[in-house]
Amino acid sequence: MPPTPPHQRIAELRSLLQKASYAYYSLDAPIMEDSVYDGLYRELEALEAAQPDLITPDSPTQRVGDTPAEQFVSVRHRVPLYSLENAFNLEELRAWDERWRRITDEPAQYVCELKIDGSAIALTYKNGVLVRGATRGDGVTGEDITQNIRTIRAIPLRLNVNDPPPVLEVRGEAFLPLDVFEQINAERQESGEPLFANPRNAAAGTLRQLDPRVAARRRLDFFAYSLQAPEGGLLLPCQEAALNTLQDLGFRVNPNRRTCPTLEAVMTYYDTWDSQRHDLGYLTDGVVVKLNDFRLQEELGFTQKFPRWAIALKYPAEEAPTVVERISVNVGRTGAVTPLAELRPLQLAGTTVARATLHNQDHINELDVRVGDTVVVRKAGEIIPEVVRVLPELRPQGTEPFVLPSHCPECGQPVVDLEDEAVVRCINASCPAIVKGALVHWAGRGALDIEGLGERWVEQFVDLGLVQTVADLYDLTLDQLVALERMGQKSAQNLLAAIERSKAQPWDQVLYGLGIRHVGSVNAQTLARAFPSVELLAGAEVEAIAQVYGIGPEIAQSVHQWFRIEANQALVNRLQDAGVTLIGTQSIASTEGVLKGKTVVITGTLPTLSR
């Protein structure tokens, strides 16, 4: 069989990768293993590298640009982005319903959608190719953020259709899934950067990142909810059809939509999602109710600000007042000294809240929060509750501004205020709080995942001097464990078995478990792929580490420094002796040529992919 000419192979690869990406990101129904995707992606990259003139902007390899923008350019939306009127209860919903029914007596169906709490964006496709992505701005003018939008995998670079309309305008909500949000904030906390208040701010901040590589790393997601073809070419009868078409075109559309015949059914939808929304993995702040029929929508039109044919039915605010009873100071595994407000317990978003983070001294100063103050506390989804503001009218007499202690509350050593960091730190490597934190992190999910090894045992291990570093865990004996308070024979055996099993956890999880600053689980995966053994990583120069796609100079610096510290080298040696996995294997399934059908195990450096 003659070999497929490169341009044809390129076209076939692009089409298949686009399908796979759509199945994975938009439908949540993968059609191939990640390793197969990666293999095909690399083949496409290689073909394009050999013939750069064949690269087109809609190729799957062209999602992440590498030239930061100087600033964003303003763009005028072809069709303005309206916002929605809010209703907070059934009466307000009924009032809206009666209002539009006064204008027309057509029968109507409602389409209910989740109201995603992110940032609205507008996408323009010309002849099926994404040419522009913009922020909402004031609804009339937004900013051109195409470079960042292209990094969102739930947004197709090319529409999945043979005869696209000349122009297609798609709107939807860009957002950060909660786990990604928490990870970003954990990483920011570690590096002393200011935290994002909530996923919405984090999403908006990410969309306006000048460097698309930063945006790509933040893993934004997207749900499409509206589509228009201002120059014709698509005739759709209703919102339901529009949502289905969006999905067919390649967009991620929220699966929890529902067409409802009555307002009662709308209320049931609202109640259902009010109680189930905390399991979604992203934040929603209400539901959006739209009249389904596009003819009816057109007839009703818009007020100055809102469509008359839609309304947002919002969930009650998850903010409530309480009193700060104490401010305690916590020392984390990185030595970061964080103030916590101990609150008079209150019910918020379905859980009891008794503590809220105050982040750092600057934040305390900004809020001017003091012991005794009545404060507004907010909790949304799975996010750590936080103090939003103080009610100064309710401040008791004689309160004092709160100042963090100058010495570590755990070990008594002076804390240091490192330049360009918002947090102060205890830098005593044998501070019990740091040692305990490191152990809990090592045993935690995503790291060595040692079942049964929580704070309770770690406290005892450290306080009794049984364990000083994570390597000591592998020397623990049954006798030592059984001697602990409230530890039975059976639990001791189970714990030892779990510690033994952890030796087989993969290299990237071990690397994450080491707790090197700036190396969260995502960076650990990236680094472990680029440096598939501890020797390779420990021996790498800063420049070599910084060259890895997705790893910035600050992370590279931190990793490099970590391996230069003697105590850390000794720790790695002991882990190696204990039999912990410090080497990775990478297997890719090759699809063509002499390697067809074989699995090849490679050790060495590979260019990393974002996937």
Beta carbon of residue 84, minimum distance to ligand IVH (angstroms, whole number)? 4
Phi first, then psi: give them for residue 219, nearest 5 degrees: 50, 65
* C-beta nearest to ligand IVH: residue: 120
Stretch that binds ligand IVH, among 76-84, 519-527, 551-559, 562-570 (CB under 6 A): 76-84
User: Of 138 and 366, which has the nearer Cβ to ligand IVH?
Assistant: 138
**Through-space distance between the first and last CA atoms of the chain, rounded to whole angstroms:** 33
Stretch that binds ligand IVH, among 78-86, 152-160, 230-238, 405-413 (CB under 6 A): 78-86
User: Of 17 and 312, which has the nearer Cβ to ligand IVH?
Assistant: 312
Q: Residue 225 interacts with ligand IVH (CB under 6 A)?
A: yes
Q: Residue 120 interacts with ligand IVH (CB under 6 A)?
A: yes
Task: Decide: 491 and 452 in contact? Cβ < 8 Å.
Answer: yes
User: Of 41 and 273, which has the nearer Cβ to ligand IVH?
Assistant: 273
What is the C-alpha to C-alpha distance for residues 442 and 480, in angstroms, rounded to an integer? 20
Instruction: State both tokens at 548.
Output: 């890895």
Instruction: State both tokens at 566.
Output: 């003697």
Beta carbon of residue 107, minimum distance to ligand IVH (angstroms, whole number)? 22
Q: Which of 19, 115, 290, 596 is catalytic?
A: 115
What is the C-alpha to C-alpha distance for residues 234 and 232, in angstroms, rounded to an integer? 6
Residue from 14, 77, 115, 308 that binds ligand IVH (CB under 6 A)?
A: 115
User: Of 312 and 524, which has the nearer Cβ to ligand IVH?
Assistant: 312
Beta carbon of residue 280, minimum distance to ligand IVH (angstroms, whole number)? 13
Instruction: State both tokens at 124.
Output: 């323009």
Say if residue 210 is exposed, middle or buried (CB neighbours under 10 Å; 0-12, 13-18, 19+): middle
Does the annotation count 115 as an active-site position?
Answer: yes
Binding mask 277-296 for ligand IVH (x = CB under 6 A): -----------x--------
User: Of 87 and 555, which has the nearer Cβ to ligand IVH?
Assistant: 87
Residue from 184, 267, 291, 310 that binds ligand IVH (CB under 6 A)?
A: 310
Stretch that binds ligand IVH, among 304-312, 341-349, 464-472, 532-540 (CB under 6 A): 304-312
Binding mask 159-198 for ligand IVH (x = CB under 6 A): --------------x-------------------------
Beta carbon of residue 359, minimum distance to ligand IVH (angstroms, whole number)? 28
Q: Residue 58 interacts with ligand IVH (CB under 6 A)?
A: no
Pairing outcome for strands 221-228 and 167-175: antiparallel
Stretch that binds ligand IVH, among 70-78, 82-90, 320-328, 338-346 (CB under 6 A): 82-90
Q: Residue 116 interacts with ligand IVH (CB under 6 A)?
A: yes
Reading across the β-sheet that carries 284-291, which strands appear in turn? Answer: 86-87, 310-314, 284-291, 110-116, 258-260
Number of residues that bind ligand IVH (CB under 6 A): 13
User: Of 313 and 492, which has the nearer Cβ to ligand IVH?
Assistant: 313
Q: Residue 207 interacts with ligand IVH (CB under 6 A)?
A: no
Question: Which residues face 342 on adjacent strands?
Answer: 326, 355
Instruction: State both tokens at 160.
Output: 């999945």
DSSP secondary structure, 300-357, as one string:
H-B-SSSBTTEEEEEPPP-EEEEEEEEEEEEE-TT-EEEEEEEEEEEEETTEEEEEEE
Cβ atoms < 10 Å from Cβ of 430: 12
Q: Which residue type occupies 600?
A: V
Question: Which residues face 141 on adjacent strands?
Answer: 76
Task: Decide: 134 and 77 in contact? Cβ < 8 Å.
Answer: yes
User: Of 225 and 270, which has the nearer Cβ to ligand IVH?
Assistant: 225
Angle between helices 263-276 and 90-103 (to 10 degrees): 140
Stretch that binds ligand IVH, among 114-122, 418-426, 446-454, 593-601 (CB under 6 A): 114-122
User: Of 317 and 595, which has the nearer Cβ to ligand IVH?
Assistant: 317
User: Of 59 and 119, which has the nearer Cβ to ligand IVH?
Assistant: 119
User: Of 305 and 611, which has the nearer Cβ to ligand IVH?
Assistant: 305
Chain residues 500-559 in contact with ligand IVH, contact rule CB under 6 A:
none
Q: Residue 83 interacts with ligand IVH (CB under 6 A)?
A: yes
Going from the C-alpha of 314 to that of each of 225, 378, 502, the distances in angstroms are: 17, 16, 46
Q: Which of 377, 197, 175 is nearest to 280 (CA)?
A: 175
Q: Which of 283, 287, 247 is nearest to 113 (CA)?
A: 287
Q: Which of 545, 536, 519 is nearest to 572 (CA)?
A: 536
What is the C-alpha to C-alpha distance for residues 507 and 533, in angstroms, rounded to an integer? 7
Beta carbon of residue 195, minimum distance to ligand IVH (angstroms, whole number)? 23
Chain residues 467-486 in contact with ligand IVH, contact rule CB under 6 A:
none
Residues in contact with 524: Cβ distance below 8 Å, sequence separation at least 6, in sequence order: 508, 509, 511, 512
Pairing outcome for strands 424-425 and 599-602: unpaired
Stretch that binds ligand IVH, among 91-99, 307-315, 413-421, 494-502 (CB under 6 A): 307-315
What is the C-alpha to C-alpha distance for residues 390 and 123, in angstroms, rounded to an integer? 40
Stretch that binds ligand IVH, among 17-25, 81-89, 402-410, 460-468 (CB under 6 A): 81-89
Stretch that binds ligand IVH, among 9-17, 111-119, 150-158, 390-398 (CB under 6 A): 111-119
Beta carbon of residue 87, minimum distance to ligand IVH (angstroms, whole number)? 11
Task: Decide: 135 and 145 in contact? Cβ < 8 Å.
Answer: yes
Task: Decide: 120 and 171 in contact? Cβ < 8 Å.
Answer: yes
User: Of 117 and 187, which has the nearer Cβ to ligand IVH?
Assistant: 117
Angle between helices 199-207 and 178-190 (to 10 degrees): 80
Residue from 87, 195, 312, 514 that binds ligand IVH (CB under 6 A)?
A: 312
Return the active site residues: 115
Residues in touch with ligand IVH (CB under 6 A): 82-84, 113, 115-116, 120, 173, 225, 288, 307, 310, 312
